Amino acid sequence: MAIVLAATLPENWSDPVLTRAQAEALLATPHHYLLITDQPYAAGYSLIQAMPLAQADILTLYVAPEHRRKHFGSALVQAALEMARSKQCEGLTLEVDATNVAAIKLYETHGLQKIGKRGGYYRDPVSKTQGDALVMAVSLA
């Protein structure tokens, strides 16, 4: 999967959280990867860590700006939930930027609820500012 995704990332890959090299490094670790393509390139992806009979976590979910509002994000969340259920996970959690209203609404649409906050979770390397993350979760039991 890492080879497939790396090959589909356009040369001008742009993600505010992950560089192309960081995305490729994440793909080299033993997690579950979900990829949505809009041929011939990747339109979005998600990285999930799932512990069977325990918890699943969406570690990252990204849809390229030109592919947003096409339901790709919703499809990635739904696929993550289905994968977690197939692993008999008790629940699914994630962190989301507290200012990312669109993502929060997306996750709420899929049943995730705000359960906490992590102060200073996100760091902007350019502006050197820090942003809070909301912790969201849904029970699958």
pTM: 0.76
Whether 79 shows a pLDDT value over 90: the answer reads yes
Judging by DSSP bridges, how do beta strands 91-97 and 55-63 pair with one another? Answer: parallel
The counts of H helices and E strands in the chain are 4, 6
pLDDT at res. 24: 67
Q: How many domains does the chain have?
A: 1
3-27 average pLDDT score: 60
Q: What is the CATH number of the domain that holds 62?
A: 3.40.630.30
Percentage of residues of the chain with pLDDT beyond 70: 79
Distances 21 to 49, 53, 100, 104 between C-alpha atoms, Å: 20, 32, 24, 27
pLDDT (tens digit, 9 = 90+) per residue, 81-97? 999 999 899 999 999 99
Query: Environment class of residue 69 by beta-carbon count within 10 Å: exposed (0-12), middle (13-18) or buried (19+)?
Result: exposed
Which band of pLDDT confidence, cut at 50, 70 and 90, is reported for residue 42? confident
pLDDT at res. 2: 45
Rounded to whole angstroms, the Cα distance separating 88 from 141 reads 8
Closest CA to 136 of 14, 13, 103, 32: 103
Whether 5 shows a pLDDT value over 80: the answer reads no
Mean pLDDT computed over every residue of the chain: 84
pLDDT (tens digit, 9 = 90+) per residue, 103-123? 999 999 999 999 999 999 888
Cα atoms in the Cβ-side hemisphere of radius 13 Å centred on 77: 21
Give the residue numbers spanning the domain of 19.
2-139
